[in-house]
Chains A and B, each alone.
Chain A
Amino acid sequence: MAALLRGLRAGRALRGIGGALVAPTATNPRCSSLRRGFHCAALRLQDESKSDKPPSSSSTNYHEHYQAHPTDQDTTAASQGDSADDLAADEAFKTNTSYQDQSGEQGEEYETEEQLQVRILSASLEFVQEHGWSMEAIAAGAETLGLSSASTGMFNNGAGDLVLHFIAQCNLQLTEILAEQHKQVQLGQAEPKHTSDLLRDAVETRLRMYIPYIQTWPQAMSILLLPHNIPDSLKHLSNMVDDIWYYAGDRSTDVSGYHHPRSPPSSARTFLSPFHHHPHNIRPATVQMNWYTKRAVLTGIYNTTELVMVQDSSEDFQDTWNFLNNRIQDVVNMASTAKQVQSTGEAVVQGLMGAAVTLKNLTGLNQRR
């Protein structure tokens, strides 16, 4: 919330400066926005005005103009000029005030720079087909936003930044879709899916986001394998896999006796099921290890399917989805096979113990004389 206000404040400061500087009909949007940027940086240092507006109204204002922003870009006050340039574009901006803030200017600038980077990277995605995942694409993206291509200097990691940003966006999209589906099920408007179906759909949805970029995706994958990118890409991957399992109903820290109402009984859940069924025993750590094994398995499925996808030339990547289906079936089969093996093993052990007792009885060793 605080970060939101800071970002909004930065935007408002920008807007205020824009209103002061730019002529009603901006003839040269690029120059004006650049100037605005410089002036903004300079003037923000002197901008100490506090506002009487309470935070709650400021946030509603933010939401208001945020929703209006995509539809009303053209009708924004002429002082905007290049409205796409400004994240906090506010056609309803009436008062040139900033919010009460106790934090230093340092916090504002950091937030704005990050937002700026994100915007540049989002814009650069359109140029990936042309320039590949590279600094050229970022430069081209920066130019569409009206900034000079020298702003690529902001990105120390270059192409890595672009790829990681794209991945983060995809993950966010996936999470929203899964949350929406989950909500539908909870509201009773949709049928709950079987776990394996949900996993398959989630992975397919996520991989389909790569389709517009599939020509250049091998390059992106190799960028992600660079040593300095590996921690970030692993983090994104693990977050995504965690999200998918969460929405698939995984509550793997369950101890026997506690059954979460939302989680469907899945064969994958009994992955490596308990070694013994002593009634007073809690299920041993292998159940808890489900948390890790499930995620590892899904990571494997996702990575292999991604690899298949980049060299798939079939219609609408049908081969890839078939491959995915087969992998998920494998996991389901393996889990149920493991369960069967274990119950067979237990039966065999009991049989052997029975045989041993019988033998002892026959040979008279069991009697106490």
Chain B
Amino acid sequence: MHRATQTALYEWPHVVGPAVTRQCLKYKAPMRQSLRAYSVLPPPRDSEEKEMLAQMIRVDHAGEYGANRIYAGQMAVLGRSGSGPLIQEMWDQEKKHLGKFTEIMADNRVRPTALLPLWNVAGFVLGATTALLGKEGAMACTVAVEESISEHYNSQIRVLMEKDPERYIELLKVIKEFRDDEMEHHDTGLEHDAESLPGYWLLKNAIQLGCKAAIYASKRL
């Protein structure tokens, strides 16, 4: 096999000529489909679409990753308190989301954002700090973050619907489902006295600003 490879290598310019010439112009890493019968992302038509889809998956993955770490931080502080089971339940759903995006990412050879270690630390610190303000603090943080994430998913849904709802039907299904889950978390947070936190408005806006910056950065880096 090796010998054959070597022979092939020495003679490749003569063998592959026109085909390679043609392909050289379109050289890009080939997209391989997963072993599953279907794939959430459609095979991209051109590099523009590929880049757009890659950015979406990258930022969604980073978002779910951050959300996971936030809940981890909250659990670290409030895990043994009364709101522990509630936070744990929301955390489990986030883990499911993260798993899904990781799967899509691996299948489609999307590069993860280089800022993941930053979101790791920042998310945990945010979750732990707000949890130190008590249950209301944790809920306020949840409300703020989930609202940001829902807004972000909504804008993605809008973009995909504008482009071609038929083509992205699988991806739209996934994002819609996750958006609904995040809205549910948001409502849960509100139910559990998030707004009764002193300085709620300030905290909420600060967190949302941070989320916007994070989304902007993760798309590109």
Flag if B17 contacts A254 (CB, 8 Å): no
List B residues 94-143 near A (Cβ within 8 Å).
Answer: 95, 98-99, 102-103, 105-106, 109-112, 114, 116-117, 119-120
Q: A205-B9, A292-B114 are in contact. Are A175 and B30 (CB under 8 A)?
A: yes
A-B pair count, CB < 8 Å, reads 112
Mark A230-255 against chain B: 1 for CB-CB distance below 8 A, else 0: 00000000010011001000011111
A253 to B29, CA, bound (A): 18
Flag if B105 contacts A209 (CB, 8 Å): no
When C-beta atoms are compared, the residue in chain A nearest to B104 turns out to be A253
B23 CB contacts on chain A under 8 angstroms: 172
Pick from B9, B25, B99: contact of A115, CB below 8 A: B25
Flag if B24 contacts A118 (CB, 8 Å): yes
A13 within 8 A of B: no
Excluding A4-B22, A115-B22, A254-B106, 18 further A-B contacts by CB distance (< 8 Å) are A66-B19, A87-B22, A172-B24, A172-B27, A175-B30, A190-B1, A212-B10, A246-B29, A251-B106, A253-B105, A253-B112, A255-B98, A255-B102, A258-B103, A281-B72, A282-B72, A282-B98, A291-B112
- Shortest Cβ gap from B13 to chain A (Å): 7
List B residues 1-44 near A (Cβ within 8 Å).
Answer: 1-2, 5-6, 8-10, 12-13, 16-30, 32, 35
Flag if B75 contacts A254 (CB, 8 Å): no
Mark A40-81 against chain B: 1 for CB-CB distance below 8 A, else 0: 000000000000000000000000001001100000000000
Q: A3-B26, A246-B29 are in contact. Are A169 and B102 (CB under 8 A)?
A: no
- Shortest Cβ gap from A163 to chain B (Å): 14
Q: A190-B1, A257-B99 are in contact. Are A125 and B13 (CB under 8 A)?
A: yes
Q: Nearest 4 pairs between A and B by C-beta?
A: A285-B120, A285-B116, A251-B106, A285-B117
A119 to B116, CA, bound (A): 43
A interface majority secondary structure = helix
Flag if A87 contacts B18 (CB, 8 Å): yes
Q: Interface residues of A, CB < 8 Å — how many? A: 54
A345 within 8 A of B: no
A289 to B8, CA, bound (A): 36
A352 CB contacts on chain B under 8 angstroms: none
When C-beta atoms are compared, the residue in chain A nearest to B118 turns out to be A285
When C-beta atoms are compared, the residue in chain A nearest to B68 turns out to be A282
Q: Which residues of A contact B (CB under 8 A)?
A: 3-4, 7, 66, 69-70, 87, 114-115, 118-119, 122, 125-126, 165, 168-169, 171-173, 175, 177, 179, 190, 201, 205, 208-209, 211-212, 239, 242-243, 246, 251-255, 257-258, 260-262, 280-282, 284-286, 288-289, 291-292
Which of A3, A209, A242, A291 is the most central at the interface, judged by chain B CB atoms within 10 Å of its CB? A291
Flag if B116 contacts A122 (CB, 8 Å): no
B178 within 8 A of A: no
B1 CB contacts on chain A under 8 angstroms: 190
When C-beta atoms are compared, the residue in chain B nearest to A118 turns out to be B21
Q: 8 interchain pairs (CB within 8 A)?
A: A115-B25, A118-B25, A177-B8, A190-B1, A253-B112, A255-B98, A258-B102, A281-B72
Pick from A66, A205, A260, A281: contact of B18, CB below 8 A: A66
Q: A242-B109, A243-B29 are in contact. Are A169 and B20 (CB under 8 A)?
A: yes
B65 within 8 A of A: yes
Flag if B21 contacts A87 (CB, 8 Å): yes
A107 to B76, CA, bound (A): 59
A252 to B18, CA, bound (A): 36
Pick from B16, B22, B26, B110: contact of A173, CB below 8 A: B16
